[in-house]
């Protein structure tokens, strides 16, 4: 996790190696939800 110059948080991780762009794109929503939950846990909100 890091911050942007405008003080937004930038989070990442949960990367997986993909050979199929379609499979990767299908998982974007669930990965975003997991990252959101990780962020909330980290900040205890």
Owning domain of residue 24: 2-43
Report the pLDDT value the prediction gives residue 33, as an integer from 0 to 100: 95
Q: How many domains does the chain have?
A: 1
Report the pLDDT value the prediction gives residue 40, as an integer from 0 to 100: 94
pLDDT digits 0-9 by tens, 1-45: 899 999 999 998 888 888 899 999 999 999 999 999 999 999 897
Q: What length does the chain have? A: 45
Report the pLDDT value the prediction gives residue 15, as an integer from 0 to 100: 86
Alpha-carbon distance values, 42 to 5, 26, 34, 37 (Å):
21, 26, 12, 9
Q: Cα–Cα distance between 43 and 40 in angstroms, integer? A: 5
Report the pLDDT value the prediction gives residue 34, as an integer from 0 to 100: 95
């Amino acid at each position: 996790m890091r911050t942007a110059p405008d003080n937004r948080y930038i989070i990442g991780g949960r990367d997986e190696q993909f050979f199929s762009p379609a499979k990767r794109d299908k998982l974007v929503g669930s990965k975003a939800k997991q990252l959101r939950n990780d962020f909330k846990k980290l900040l205890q909100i």
